[in-house]
Amino acid sequence: MARISDVIEVFLKELISDSKNRTIEIQRNELAKYFDCSPSQINYVLTTRFDYVHGYYIESQRGGGGYIKIKKLTMDHRDGIYAILLKEIANGITKMKGNKLIVSLQERGVISEREAKIMKAAIDDTAIISPLNIKDEIRANILKNMLAAVLG
């Protein structure tokens, strides 16, 4: 049986793929009523599965007539990767976030399956022999250099 988070994610992705401009507007409370869950469950799905790393941009308008706009980003190789490098990788990235980023790039066709496997192996904790307090910084540098090599 699928978890409610998975069901909500699939539902939203289907709505986005059916829309002409890859953008949807939803009301959190209405969606929560539809799935018979709390609005915080909707927030959880949005923050963990529809962020920039996964290729989405979320805009939120609060209040009585508030809405959430979800837009599927297109990946222009130069501008998109540069933005990812600046925003997501920055000076440090966790293994989990790095893996999510790699999967997202693979799903969008920016990198191949083989490149994704190599990148995941390179940023794994077992490959980085260093004190714990600087592993994320080393991982970020490795990931930036690999992306620059692949996309350069």
Task: Please name each of the domains of the chain with its CATH number.
Answer: 4-72 (3.30.56.130), 77-151 (1.10.1200)
Q: Which two tokens stand for residue 68?
A: 């959430």
Give the three-class secondary structure for 73.
coil
Q: pLDDT (tens digit, 0 to 9) for every residue of the chain, 152 residues total? A: 569 999 999 999 999 999 988 899 999 889 999 999 998 899 899 988 887 767 787 888 776 666 888 988 766 655 666 666 667 788 899 999 999 889 988 888 888 999 999 999 999 999 998 877 899 999 998 998 888 777 75
d(CA 120, CA 122): 5
Nearest to 149 by CA among 125, 118, 121: 118
Task: Tell me the backbone φ, ψ of residue 44, rounded to 5 degrees.
Answer: -60, -50
| Other Cβ atoms closer than 10 A to 116 | 18
Structure letter (DSSP) for residue 74: P
pTM of the complete model: 0.59
Q: Which two tokens stand for residue 97?
A: 């976030």
Q: pLDDT at position 116, please?
A: 96
22-48 exposure pattern, b = at least 16 Cβ within 10 A, e = fewer: eebebbbeebbeebebeeebbeebbee
Nearest to 22 by CA among 76, 71, 80, 74: 71
Could you tell me the strand order of the sheet in which 67-72 lies?
23-26, 67-72, 56-61
Q: Which two tokens stand for residue 87?
A: 């925003």
d(CA 119, CA 98): 9
